[in-house]
Chain A
Amino acid sequence: MEESTYREAVRSALREEMLRDPNVILLGESITGYGGSYAVTKGLVQEFGPHRVMETPIAEAGIVGFAVGAAMGGLRPVAELMTVNFALLALDQIVNSAAKFHFMFGGQWSVPMVVRTVSGFGQLGATHSQTFEGWFAHVPGLKVVMPATPADAKGLLLAAMRDPDPVMFIEHSLLYSTRGPMPDDPETVVPIGRARIARAGSDVTVVAYSRMLLQALQAAEVLEREDGCQVEVIDLRTLRPVDYPTVTQSIQRTHRVVVCGEDWRTGGFGASLLAELQDRCFDDLDAPIARVAMADVPLPYARNLERALIPSSEQVVQAVRGIL
């Protein structure tokens, strides 16, 4: 089995789909000569030319609006928004155009496009360190995907590029250099809307996605070593639609659950997930649902303060211990 970094996995999905489907185009800020802010699209303009790998002005709303139209015109655009923070400038196009057209125009056409963007932090300051998946997962009409592993980054991106609906594909800046096994068949598609049991266990379920999956797996090792606790870790992978059957079946086995995310506690994705799990699993629960989330504070620059805020494996360990 071959290994790949998360960054290479994303690039390889883009490249293979561009080879397979001449209608796939990429567009975004500094994605050609520069190779992308996180070097994901490096080399693609040389291979496919500037008409399929398009350098755009710094105009996020325009980029997404253009991609919506390109999709309506028969292309399969993949728009890169440098970070999820900048996606706020494109919210109208994502929410009012991409997510609405199929419904609002009576199903006459869909908008098959992908918005690739990036969550993450690292002393970037308050406007560049945010986590907004909950906002997108809030919107009917969007599909929201947040891969945690290289194999999922590739397989889910392939699925997203072939999906007839608009997909928010949110990568994580701190995962780009992580490595992981890739399936032998390079065309392995990971279906949208399927969670994965990343580690089997019988005592407690921890639901995580994106970078928090890694924190949850580390926490599971600590808990096994220090507490003899068998943690089942679920990688949600898709935030809309959520694979509730996989999660609720796990809770029926463990009777305890911790919900993990990096977004703010108030109104965050985890809050909605928690509410839904309580509705679906109340009778199966032996303890209140616990939650790991970001404190309701903007991210500071100072390293020590930022570290104090970012959800960590230690916080997952504490959350599990709190409900055992």
Chain B
Amino acid sequence: MGGGPRKGRRYNAGVAATRAVRPGAGTRRGGGRRRSPALPADLTAERCRQLYRQMVLIRRFEEHAAEAYAQAKVGGFLHLYIGEEAVAVGALAAARPTDDVLSHYRDHGYALARGCDPTACMAELFGRATGVSRGMGGSMHLADRSRHFWGGHAIVGSHIPIGTGMAYAAKLQGRDDVVLEFFGDGATGNGIFHEGLNMAALWKVPVVFVCENNLYGMGATLAEESPVRDMVIRAEGYTMPALQCDGMDVVAVYETLRVAIAHAREGRGPYFVECLTYRFRGHSMADPELYRDKDEVRRWRALDPITRFGARLVAERISTEQELTAVGDEVEEEMLRVVAAADAGAVPDLATLSQLVYAHPIDPTTPPADQEPQLAPRPAASGRR
């Protein structure tokens, strides 16, 4: 068995075969080769160039967001995804646009990889009415229903049963959409993670759980927060098939998620994927990073998913160095426009405060007949049971 993830194989906790991508170890499973898996046939040259561009877009977006944070244009918390771009980009490339996506609060990468308008995302960080969430959510709560991106969620693990419920709704209504849920290794210590996985497995719900193991739960090391080093082991107790992959390799993530999503879409129940990855920046902008040493950061930075995939595109003659540089320049110019346009957006009106608390506010001073709730149209819950 080579370096690629094994299709449909249930992870066996008894076989400690996954010491995949610790820095310097290269990509391997079960002592496989160090190289990335060969490009799958459906990753055409054009799609590869798109994936590369998406990762660059996320990187540059966040660099500009960090700059804006330093200028106090962004308030509150800002959690950067830099270093983990291959996970969002590879995973969402394997999904359909109608598959529903929920993520943790380090959510810029998912929003952008889902195709959300970068200006509306930046405007959200700036607290503007033109933001994806109308300036009500901020960095941790980007969402765009039209793109089936149901939000960054900032109570760790809280979205895990929520995505499970969404997937159940799709199943009951006979849709074959799948839900993708992204969370960190830190979430696996929370009871809600286990409640969600338990239900998903019990009811064979079409959901793919994607654990981004970046080795830290804020400032807690993996060894301090978890008795297991490989999060795929968590899936074993729920009889859930699981795969671990190199989260610094966009192709490996794509291939692994393709297997997982196909499994869920075929009605075979939930799937668990662990992406081994690393955040290059601190937990948030306020993090002095006292809990990890600089050597470790340097080793992981050597696995930078963008430079790594770029080198591969050049090696496989998909792109030239000059073309990759041009992508960086184009995205940089776009980001300058994005920041300016976001900054030009209006702040939310004060009236927003009372308009958004309820979908159907109730005013007891008017007769009930005048304020019947608008019943949502009801698609028939026919079909698959």
Q: Which residues on the A side are within 8 Å of B165 (C-beta)?
A: 65-73, 77
A75–B169 CB distance below 8 A: yes
In whole angstroms, what is the CA distance A63 to B163 when docked?
12
Q: Which residues on the A side are within 8 Å of B195 (C-beta)?
A: 57, 59, 61-62, 65
Q: How many whole Å from A247's CB to the nearest CB in chain B? A: 10
A107–B155 CB distance below 8 A: no
In whole angstroms, what is the CA distance A61 to B155 when docked?
13
Q: How large is the interface on A (under 10, 10 to 19, 20 to 34, 35 or more residues)?
A: 35 or more
Say if the beta carbon of B162 comes within 8 Å of chain A.
yes
B192–A105 CB distance below 8 A: no
Query: Which of B133, B355, B363, B381 neighbours the largest number of chain A CB atoms within 10 Å of its CB?
Result: B381
Residues from 39 to 95 in A contacting B, C-beta threshold 8 Å: 49, 51-52, 54, 56-57, 59, 61-75, 77, 92-93
Q: How many whole Å from A140's CB to the nearest CB in chain B? A: 5
Which residue of A73, A108, A193 is within 8 Å of B143 (Cβ)? Answer: A108
Residues from 16 to 30 in A contacting B, C-beta threshold 8 Å: 21-23, 25
Say if the beta carbon of B227 comes within 8 Å of chain A.
no
Q: How many whole Å from A55's CB to the nearest CB in chain B? A: 9
Say if the beta carbon of A110 comes within 8 Å of chain B.
yes
A109–B145 CB distance below 8 A: yes
Which residue of A21, A56, A107, A143 is within 8 Å of B134 (Cβ)? Answer: A107
Task: Supply 7 further A-B pairs (C-beta < 8 A) apart from A75-B168, A108-B145, A141-B357.
Answer: A57-B195, A61-B195, A62-B192, A65-B164, A75-B169, A106-B134, A164-B360
List 24 A-B residue pairs with CB atoms under 8 Å apart, sorted by A's residue number: A49-B385, A63-B161, A64-B161, A65-B162, A66-B162, A66-B168, A69-B164, A70-B166, A72-B166, A73-B167, A92-B158, A93-B158, A96-B155, A97-B158, A102-B356, A103-B136, A106-B134, A110-B360, A141-B357, A141-B358, A165-B359, A165-B360, A192-B362, A193-B363
Closest residue of chain A to B138, judged by CB? Answer: A104
Supposing A56-B199, A106-B133, A163-B373 touch, asked if A74 and B358 sit within 8 A by C-beta, the answer is no
B168–A143 CB distance below 8 A: no
Say if the beta carbon of B269 comes within 8 Å of chain A.
no
Which residue of B135, B376, B381 is within 8 Å of A164 (Cβ)? Answer: B376
Supposing A105-B141, A141-B357 touch, asked if A112 and B166 sit within 8 A by C-beta, the answer is no
B373–A59 CB distance below 8 A: no
Q: How many whole Å from B167's CB to the nearest CB in chain A? A: 7
